[in-house]
Amino acid sequence: MEKEKSYSAELRVKRAICYFVLLLLTLACLFPFLMLLINTTRSHSAIQQGFSLVPGGSLAANFNNTVHNETILIVRGMLNSLFVSTATVVLSVYFSAMTAYAIHAYDFRIKKAVMNFILLIMTIPTQVGALGFVNMMTAMNLKNTYIPLIVPAIAAPAVFFFMKQYMESSLPLEIVEAARIDGSGEFYTFNAIVLPLLKPAIAVQAIFGFVSSWNNYFTPALMLTKAEKKTLPLWIAFLRSADFAKFDMGQLYMMIAFSIFPVIVIYFLLSKFIVQGVALGGVKG
């Protein structure tokens, strides 16, 4: 009995420590963004005077200045990013599912080799081909277009791998057989029967694909030089290279907020989905 009691007291102490550590980490994760949020509501001079947790009254002014800034086209950048990310996601999800379906549903001689090849190239960084990529896109006159950013998404080994895993656990081949007996063509089966069954996997990969394209900096920086073509991360880099001393800090924080908060809002709306998706992607079998 006594042992039981000390046991539960120990457990309570341990729990308290756990909650304390978790609270600290939560704070570490949220505080920078809270500071960002507060500073978007404060004027340049207020920000210069020091930090305060009390929001200021300049939210509308900062917003207006940012939207109407004629050198730093943040809204244009946002629309560009939105277009590139959406197109990227559609292509990468559709064609990765198709590639995974080829391996999952058909038996052919080099299947195993193809699967291994894709797994092997999965972790090769895109940067190692950057030199050839830049030269080739320049030669093809595709610089300052979105083609070099969008089309390569058709070959996305990591998305393929996720789709393949998902099919193994949730796409019984009997369904495909049944469709064949009903006279459905292979292409039609994939589009009309298989794709709808992959919805959960597609949703997870759509979110990740969108976000990673939205955040992508390396390749766009090599491809896009015209102001009206630039995506958000390029404008963030531009901000960093601008003369900081002369800059309106309220606007600066607002511009950072423009690139961060859309993702945070989407994330909290869909977080349940996303956290499950990470776990799914991490463990196999």
Residues 88-107 that bind another protein (CB under 8 A): 95-96, 98-99, 101-103, 105-107
Among 121, 178, 265, 269, binds another protein (CB under 8 A): 121
Positive or negative CA dihedral for 236, 237, 238, 240?
Answer: positive
Q: Which of 243, 217, 241, 240 is CA-nearest to residue 230?
A: 217
Among 64, 127, 169, 170, binds another protein (CB under 8 A): 127
Q: Compose the 174-203 pattern: x for residues touching another protein by CB under 8 A, - for all others.
A: ------------xx--x-------------
Helix (H, G, I), strand (E, B) or coil at 51: coil
Q: Which is nearer to another protein, 26 or 64 (CB)?
A: 26
H or E element in which residue 118 lies: helix 111-121
Among 135, 178, 188, 192, binds another protein (CB under 8 A): 135
Piece of the chain touching another protein by CB under 8 A; list 54-62, 69-77, 132-140, 196-204? 132-140
Among 20, 45, 48, 57, binds another protein (CB under 8 A): 48
Q: Which of 128, 207, 131 is CA-nearest to residue 162?
A: 207
Range 247-276, binding another protein (CB under 8 A): 249, 252-253, 256, 259-260, 263-264, 267-268, 271-272, 274-275
Range 60-89, binding another protein (CB under 8 A): none
Residue 233, token pair as written in the block: 């991360």
- Residue that is written with structure tokens 């420590």 in the block: 17
CA distance 37 to 25: 19
Minimum distance of another protein from residue 17's CB (angstroms): 9
Piece of the chain touching another protein by CB under 8 A; list 55-63, 64-72, 150-158, 196-204? 150-158
User: At residue 225, what are phi and psi to the nearest 5 degrees?
Assistant: -120, -20
CA distance 192 to 175: 12
Q: How far is CA 217 from the centre of its chain?
A: 12
Minimum distance of another protein from residue 185's CB (angstroms): 9
Among 232, 248, 251, 254, binds another protein (CB under 8 A): 232
If binding is defined by CB under 8 A, does position 1 make contact with another protein? no
Residues in the chain: 285
> Taking a C-beta distance cutoff of 8 angstroms, is the pair 49, 273 a contact?
no
CA distance 200 to 86: 18
Minimum distance of another protein from residue 33's CB (angstroms): 8
Among 13, 35, 75, 178, binds another protein (CB under 8 A): 35
